[in-house]
Homo-oligomer: A and B are copies of this chain.
Amino acid sequence: MPPRKYTVAVAGATGVVGGTVRAILEERDFPVGELKLLASARSAGRTLSFKGAEVEVQELGPGSFDGVDLVFFAAGGSVSTEYAPQAVAAGATVIDKSSVFRQDPGVPLVVPEVNAAHLAANTGLIATPNCSTIQMVVALKPIYDAAGIERVVVSTYQAVSGSGQGGIAALNAQARQWAAGEPVEQQFYPHQIAFNVLPHIDTFLPTGSTKEEQKMVDETVKIFGDPDLKVTATCVRVPVFGAHSEAVNVQTRTKLSAAEAKELLAAAPGVVVVDDPAGLQYPMPLPAEGEDPVYVGRIREDVTIANGLDMWVVSDNLRKGAALNAVQIAEELIARALL
């Protein structure tokens, strides 16, 4: 019997994450029977290529999910809110990139390297975490398993692609205006992003933290299933196009040396250790763009506490931080006969 193929839809197919989902489905030879590309009316009629064929983009609407096995939602919170339940009702399994359902107790929030087991409890809707959370938890997982984690202090250096095409366009335009000696125009972000740094991602909460920072706290707890795992985050946008970096300070429950952490990380799924100070090799966002792994380096003991580690974590936020993680969830569903 030939392996089963699936009718797969991508909602938000013309966005940067939707486009990356399509590319990764092709790269990984995901068993796609039919591919439906869904977007707003504005984009309907455009064609996008998939495995050598041109696929016409259809307007996302009430009938979009008939006969669909699997839908990747990458069109933002309001589209997921409206259509993800409709897709589930139509019998499809939904993998949702938005933040809408992530804290719903009935919705597994999954990073396959960390908590693939949570997929068993899915009832048709699975959420994929925020980009900044995903790469951090992949790097924390082997440390958590070996020594437990008490507290994490994380500072991020996040790329503009995390904001979608508007963020990429803003950095692109502003850097070109600067180089041409023209006035740099405000666009998309509330302040110039070229040659600047903005300690502001997503909206502010009454606590003074941003939603992005709170996501890193809440999502990490849910993914590890450990309400005692404490995270404090400062999320910062930097003028980089395509990968997020994170300075991660970890307080483990039991002692783990930097050498032990390095060894565990080197063996961890999804992780590539780049940590050769003498050779000036460490993870950086530019070479990580377009790559799948979570790169970890600068692994050092933090001697200010009994069980402290510092590390530096970099990954392409459109791939592992978004599209790749979503496709890996789908692959896990198949491997576990859940799709």
Within 8 A of B (CB), among A151-196: 151, 153, 155, 157, 171, 175-176, 178-180, 190-192, 195-196
Contact of B192 with A286 in the complex, beta carbons under 8 Å? yes
Contact of A155 with B247 in the complex, beta carbons under 8 Å? yes
Contact of B197 with A236 in the complex, beta carbons under 8 Å? no
Report if A118 contacts B (CB, 8 A): no
Given known contacts A199-B298, A204-B278, A297-B199, A151 and B304 CB-to-CB distance under 8 angstroms: yes
Report chain B residues within 8 Å CB of A300.
207-209
Contact of B284 with A245 in the complex, beta carbons under 8 Å? no
Query: A148 to nearest B CB, angstroms?
Result: 15
The A interface, classified by DSSP as helix, strand, loop or mixed, is mixed
Given known contacts A208-B299, A304-B231, A196 and B236 CB-to-CB distance under 8 angstroms: no
Contact of B301 with A157 in the complex, beta carbons under 8 Å? no
Contact of B207 with A301 in the complex, beta carbons under 8 Å? yes
Q: Across the interface, name the chain B residue whose C-beta is closest to A234.
A: B247
Contact of A245 with B204 in the complex, beta carbons under 8 Å? no
Q: Across the interface, name the chain B residue whose C-beta is closest to A172.
A: B179
Contact of A305 with B178 in the complex, beta carbons under 8 Å? no
Q: Across the interface, name the chain B residue whose C-beta is closest to A193.
A: B286
The complex places the Cα of A245 from the Cα of B157 at a distance, in Å, of 12
The complex places the Cα of A176 from the Cα of B181 at a distance, in Å, of 10
Contact of A157 with B238 in the complex, beta carbons under 8 Å? yes
Report chain B residues within 8 Å CB of A277.
204, 208
Report chain B residues within 8 Å CB of A282.
198-200
Report chain B residues within 8 Å CB of A247.
155, 199, 234, 236, 247
The complex places the Cα of A128 from the Cα of B209 at a distance, in Å, of 34
Report if A232 contacts B (CB, 8 A): yes
27 contacts between A and B (CB under 8 A): A151-B305, A153-B153, A175-B179, A179-B180, A191-B280, A192-B286, A195-B240, A195-B286, A196-B240, A196-B284, A197-B240, A197-B245, A197-B285, A199-B298, A207-B300, A207-B301, A208-B300, A208-B301, A232-B302, A232-B310, A234-B247, A234-B298, A234-B310, A236-B245, A236-B247, A239-B240, A247-B247
Interface residue ranges, A against B (CB under 8 Å): 151, 153, 155, 157, 171, 175-176, 178-180, 190-192, 195-200, 204, 207-209, 230-232, 234, 236, 238-241, 245, 247, 249, 258, 277-278, 280, 282-286, 297-305, 308, 310, 312
Given contacts A196-B285, A208-B300, 9 further A-B pairs with CB under 8 A are A153-B302, A171-B195, A190-B280, A198-B282, A200-B282, A207-B300, A208-B299, A232-B310, A238-B239
